[in-house]
Every structure is written in structure tokens, then in C-alpha cells.
Amino acid sequence: MIKLKLFLFCLLAIFLLFSMTASLELFSIEHALARSIFSDVMDDMRDIGYLDRDVERYYSEKMNQLGWEAVDGDYFQGSFPRQMNQRVLKEKQQFIELHLQIRPSRVARLLNKYTRDDYSFAFYSRQPSEYFDVRW
């Protein structure tokens, strides 16, 4: 009887260790994916001087396919500029701002709450534009 209890205890410990390892891997993969999407959007935004609707739509669909949700209905809420007529220019030393907030999977949400005290992944950056106006 003692051997059976010990066996079940060891089996439970192995299961818990495996589950924790898998959860941490899932969390780090999801965070890395979110960070890479943020970097790609920031790079595109710096090149053209604003957040293009097609770029926004493409990455929003990509994040929806991953099963993520926008925190406030819009992944890029608070980003500036978002219109072509508000495009920022390098020669004027203007800056672009990109905000990205994602509500990831449940496992990643719980681990993020434990590590960063927030359920969502949030990224923010303010960088100079690299767009030169052709008429300049």
C-alpha cells in the first residue's frame, strides 16, 4: 500500500512538473510572438510615417488567428499617427508612437498576472520617423 501511494505521489509530481514546464514554454512563445508582431508593426510604421490601415488589418487578423483578443476593442489603440494626412516626417524630427495591447491565452494570462501583475501583454514605443517627404 505504501508503494502504491509513493508511486501515485511521484506520478503526480512528474505530471505537475511537466505541466509547469509546458505552461512556461507556452507563455514565453506567446510573449515572443507578440513582441515580434510589435517590432514588425513598428518597423513598418517608421518606414511610412504612420500606421497604415492595411498593415493594421493584416496584423489584427494574424493576432485573431492566434486566438488573442484586443483589450479595448482595438489592438493598436493610442497609436499615433493613424492617418496618411497626419504622416510624421524625419526631416522635421517627428516621432511615431505605437501602443499594442493583447489579451493572450488563459495560461499566458495567468502567468503574466503572476510575473507582471497584469493579465494582458502591453508594448509601447516612441521612435523617430524614417519617412522622407518626396517633395522635401
Residue range 83-122, pLDDT digits in tens = 888 888 888 889 999 999 999 999 999 898 888 888 999 9
Strands (E) located in the chain = 69-70, 95-103, 121-128
pTM (2 d.p.): 0.86
Would you give the distance in Å from CA 134 to the centre of its chain? 33
pLDDT (tens digit, 9 = 90+) per residue, 29-83? 999 999 999 999 999 999 999 999 999 999 999 999 999 999 988 899 988 998 8
The pLDDT of residue 56 is 94
- Does 136 score more than 70 pLDDT? no
Q: Is 5 exposed, middle or buried (0-12, 13-18, 19+ CB in 10 A)?
A: exposed
